[in-house]
Amino acid sequence: MAALPYWRLSSFYLFYFALLGSTAPFLALYFDHLGFNAARIGELVAIPMLMRCVAPNLWGWLGDYTGRRLAIVRFGAICTLLSFSLIFIDKSYAWLAMVMALHAFFWHAVLPQFEVITLAHLSGQASRYSQIRLWGSIGFIITVVVLGRLFQWLSLDIYPVALALIMGGIVLSSFWVPNAQPVQGPRVAGDGFLRQLRNPGVLAFYACVGLMQMSHGPYYTFLTLHLERLGYSRGLIGVLWAVGVVAEVLVFLFMSRILARFSVRRVLMVSFLLAALRWLLLGSLAEFLWVLLFAQVLHAATFGSFHAAAIHFVQRSFGPRQQGQGQALYAALAGTGGALGALYSGYSWNALGAGWTFNIASLAAFAAAVIIATRMQEDRP
């Protein structure tokens, strides 16, 4: 990787996903600490995901139109920090809803554009993407373990400070990354974004992205509260979150070999089926530690192999001029599904209980597997 700015790219992923590692397990816990009920928690967690439905497409179009992707990444990182800092002013529901919406609008501008920059640096070596992206998983692991222990020893009142520090790391790392642009070939007939979107299997893929993220709704919104009420300590819960991401890292290390041997379609199908199994286990048998550990190991499929295969699919399905919009649509559909998952789980948690809430998630993942099996064409690995 002599010509590749490996550590500069990796540092950005480390801080970006460290922020996800501080929000996915602990954001709902923090809102619970502030005294909000399950429905309100679901709504507050859903707001950033709803912004992910809108923001990436706007910023993706701007990135493709101007070509100034790195400037968008840096601007988005700075505005994420500044807008989130408003949380120190007030903690009312309306104010928190505004903070969640505002900082997410800029936060979700960042990653799709950075994915295009990373793939441009890789320049035809897209299979090596996972070797850089795994540092995001490492950042997630470090954050969930450290914050899990910290919240066990100290009050959750320090939570906003921890998030602001991580956002500062995103800003600094964005200014360390060198720019790169995807190779711009000549315009040819039929290279428009909408035309490429209508290619066989592409719309089915995006529908399944939404279903996969919808199935993660109970996991990202209520898993920490679920495990805490089953008697697990916050420190152990942090370790359990880390176990899942360790499994994800191991998959990223081998994804180039996996994609060389198996088609993207098969990798996606297996990922969806294992997701369906995982949610059933978390909803019904999470009180058994060995079952919980196994379910967390399945994160290797529900996020690791799914995300790497999805990025690979998007990268090959769109031309250089449409890469930003393709990645942005991926983020937007993921946000739509995630928001729907957070909302339905927020309302069903008290009404139906943890078991049925996770069962609905399992059905969503299984439906995605069926769609991929019937609508996506087999591709050569």
Q: Is 1 helix (H, G, I), strand (E, B) or coil?
A: coil
Distance between CA atoms of 310 and 134, rounded to whole angstroms? 15
What pTM did the predictor assign? Answer: 0.78
CA–CA dist 335, 104 (Å, integer) = 11
Range with the lowest mean pLDDT among 20-29, 30-39, 117-126? 117-126
Average pLDDT over residues 80-105: 96
Task: Indicate the residue type of 85.
Answer: S
Confidence grade of residue 276 (pLDDT, cut at 50, 70, 90): very high
The structure tokens listed for 347 are 């309302």
List, as one string, the DSSP characters of 241-267.
Answer: HHHHHHHHHHHHHHHHHHHHHS-HHHH
DSSP state of 278: H
Bigger pLDDT: 323 vs 326 = 326
pLDDT tens-digit readout, 134-174: 899 899 989 998 998 898 888 899 999 999 999 999 999 99
d(C-alpha 80, C-alpha 93), whole Å: 20
Mean pLDDT of the chain: 88
DSSP structure string for 131-177 = HHHHHHHHHHHHHHHHHHHHHHHS-GGGHHHHHHHHHHHHHHHHTTS
Cα–Cα distance, 299 to 124 (Å, whole number) = 28
* Rounded distance between C-alpha atoms, residue 218 and residue 359, angstroms: 10
Query: Among 10-14, 269-273, 349-353, which stretch is predicted with the lowest mean pLDDT?
Result: 349-353
Residue 184 burial by Cβ neighbours in a 10 Å radius (0-12, 13-18, 19+)? exposed
Burial of 127 per CB tally in 10 Å (0-12, 13-18, 19+): middle
What the chain holds in terms of domains, given with CATH numbers, is 7-178 (1.20.1250.20), 192-380 (1.20.1250.20)
Which single residue is written with the structure tokens 């069903």? Answer: 348
* Residue 334 in tokens: 């993921």
Beta-carbon contacts of residue 203 (< 8 Å; ≥ 6 apart): 197
On whether the CB atoms of residues 144 and 243 are closer than 8 A, the answer is no
Q: Could you tell me if 309 and 127 are in contact, meaning their C-beta atoms sit under 8 angstroms apart?
A: no
Question: Which of 22-26, 89-93, 377-381 has the lowest average pLDDT?
Answer: 377-381
Q: What is the dihedral of CA 288, 294, 295, 297, to 10 degrees?
A: 150
User: Where is pLDDT greater, at 229 or 315?
Assistant: 229
Residue-level pLDDT at 124:
66
Radius of gyration, alpha carbons of the chain: 20
pLDDT of residue 3: 67
In whole angstroms, give the CA distance from residue 60 to residue 76: 12
pLDDT for position 2: 41
Task: Please say if the pLDDT value at position 287 is more than 90.
Answer: yes
Distance CA 290, CA 295 (A): 9
Query: What was the pLDDT predicted at 190?
Result: 47
Alpha helix segments (H runs only) across the chain: 6-23, 27-33, 38-66, 69-84, 93-122, 129-153, 159-174, 193-197, 202-215, 217-229, 234-261, 264-284, 289-297, 299, 306-317, 323-352, 354-375
